[in-house]
Structure 1
């Protein structure tokens, strides 16, 4: 049964190295190169979305890559959420340099 209060975030949704047909959901300019589960989870935590990580899950169209996924509370639209997560990850990466 589908849970309408949670959203699944696959790393491919934010990955600038992927095409739209491979699963990227946001524009390439706003996306992140090879996002990690930890980064997505930390960004979701900053947004107060109560993230839970499932490391051994695989995105259905690339089932051979065990990318994992993050499940978060639904507090906004999915596209808006993905853009905010991407911005936070890009911001934290630029601080690390």
Structure 2
């Protein structure tokens, strides 16, 4: 089974209404597709990148998305990816 991860899901600059799925404490500022993909790779989630896709709530922005293997609940995947991005940014 696959899970789709849009950058907005873990973006601390977005509101829940705009599409953020995790709490501000776990979210990261303006996550990039490349960062999400690398984090998913480190978590062995077999990421696939679709660069030319737009999230439905902001259809005018081409943000891209990452499709990963759903090996745990989606919220858990989002938090782990977000924490991994935080870790790489702080280095």
| TM-score normalised per structure 2 | 0.99
Tell me by how many angstroms 1:29 deviates. 1.1
Name the counterpart of 1:35.
31
| Poorly superposed stretches of 4+, deviation over 3 Å | none
Name the counterpart of 2:50.
54
Tell me by how many angstroms 1:44 deviates. 0.2
Matches within 5 A, 1:1-97: 5-95=1-91
**Residues 28-84 of structure 1, C-alpha deviation per residue, up to 9 Å, x if partnerless?**
111000000000000000000100000000000100010000000010000000000
| TM-score normalised per structure 1 | 0.93
2:82 aligns to what SS in structure 1? Answer: helix
How many residue pairs end up in the alignment?
91
What RMSD in Å do the two structures reach over aligned CA positions?
A: 0.3
